[in-house]
Chain A
Amino acid sequence: MHSLGRAALAAMMIVGAGTAKAQITTVVASPPRKTEPAQQAAAQQRERVVQDSVARVAMTGMKEWVDSASAALAIRPDTVPTAADTALGTPRTATAPAPKSDSASTRTAERSSEFRDGARAPDTATPIPTIGLAGALLILIGVAMKRRERTARVRARR
């Protein structure tokens, strides 16, 4: 009987693992924190400083930047330079690589969305067979436990 109980516990843990994994993923996301206006201003200032430094690094390849900027303007003839356009702002749209993000949603989208050179094969994994198998296993264990319980009940009556 103990072995059956252990098997049932193990089966429940296996079945629950997948679900628990998904729940943990959703639970981990922290709620947005309320920040004071002064803290927000400081954070924006820090972000601005980081952006400037990134843009400065991107400008090291001047030849590529000029080529790509001219190509970008050729593609979009409606783009008219304005006073707001600065040397630091333009290359971000022209040559800067797509910003990398480690968020779960970005990774999911990257995993199975649109085709590009060097893309991963779409995520075709499905938990359905495993879920079905786990369900059948639980039923078998439950039926076996019921049989043993009936046998034990008959013995107890005697």
Chain B
Amino acid sequence: MRRVTLHPLNGRRAASTALIVCGALLLIGSATSVARGAIARDAARARWVEIEAERAVAGARVSTGGARWSEARGTPVARVTVPRLGLDEVVVEGVGDEELRAGPGHMIGSALPGDSGTSVISAHRDRHFHALGGIALGDTVVTESASGTVVWTVSRIRVVPADDSALEARTTPTLMLTTCWPIRYVGPAPDRLIVEAMPTR
């Protein structure tokens, strides 16, 4: 009768194979998430172009107001650009996982950029708001929404703990861009970067 013995080297081979397979699965998972985000971002941009076209047509037909914009979650509601940083993103409604995958999210219940009150726009630090780490006081931010195009000037930059009640409701138009802080950090970032801007004109 033939006796089968497990050589120690075979065990090591199995362990190394298992590690490589696990690592590959994790990499594939994260790559899939990034790819889905890129697809959702492209879809949001395409939808934004359509909405702008619809608005232009409606604006030509009716002198007062334009097309009524949808406020459903995931629908593009604004566009935010920071020319100095090369940041140009389409903002979607909502700040859930799905919305933040597609682009910066407009916090439901806050004002649209340009309306009276606080407008909160948030995004992931490793994707859409990665450039926000280089923002400085006095930088120009431009927003386009149903309320029109508004040019903002960064007036305050602060870093607060993640559980800090940092968002204030105001009566005057205020733009708050938020993301995780530090920008380069492995693991769940403990703080939040909050950039406040006031309308320039």
A residues with CB within 8 A of B: 1, 5, 8, 11-12, 15, 112-143, 145-146, 148-149, 152-153, 156
Contacts and interface: CB of A to CB of B under 8 A. Distances in A.
Shortest Cβ-Cβ A-B pairs, 4 listed: A135-B26, A138-B23, A142-B19, A142-B20
A153 B108 contact: no
Contacts of A149: 9, 12-13, 16
Contacts of B25: 135
Contact of A124 (B16, B17, B166, B180): B180
Interface in B142-174: 160, 162-169
Given A120-B162, A143-B20, 18 more contacts: A12-B19, A114-B107, A115-B118, A119-B165, A120-B165, A121-B120, A121-B178, A122-B178, A124-B129, A126-B124, A135-B23, A135-B25, A138-B19, A138-B20, A138-B22, A142-B23, A148-B12, A149-B12
B9 A156 contact: yes
B188 interface: yes
Interface string B105-142: 10111100000001010111111010000000000000
Contacts of B49: none
B-side interface mostly: mixed
12 contacts: A115-B110, A117-B167, A119-B165, A120-B165, A121-B164, A121-B167, A124-B100, A124-B179, A128-B126, A142-B20, A145-B15, A152-B9
A107 B189 CA distance: 18
B4 interface: no
Interface stretch (B30-38, B50-58, B62-70, B77-85): B30-38
B43 interface: no
Contacts of A142: 16-21, 23
A121 B19 contact: no
A125 B105 CA distance: 13
B33 A122 contact: no
Contacts of B6: none
A5 to B, nearest CB: 8
Contacts of A145: 12, 15-16, 19
B27 A115 contact: no
Contacts of B16: 141-143, 145-146, 149
Contacts of A118: 165, 167-169
A119 B23 contact: no
A115 B166 CA distance: 11
B22 A121 contact: no
B187 interface: yes
Contacts of A137: 23
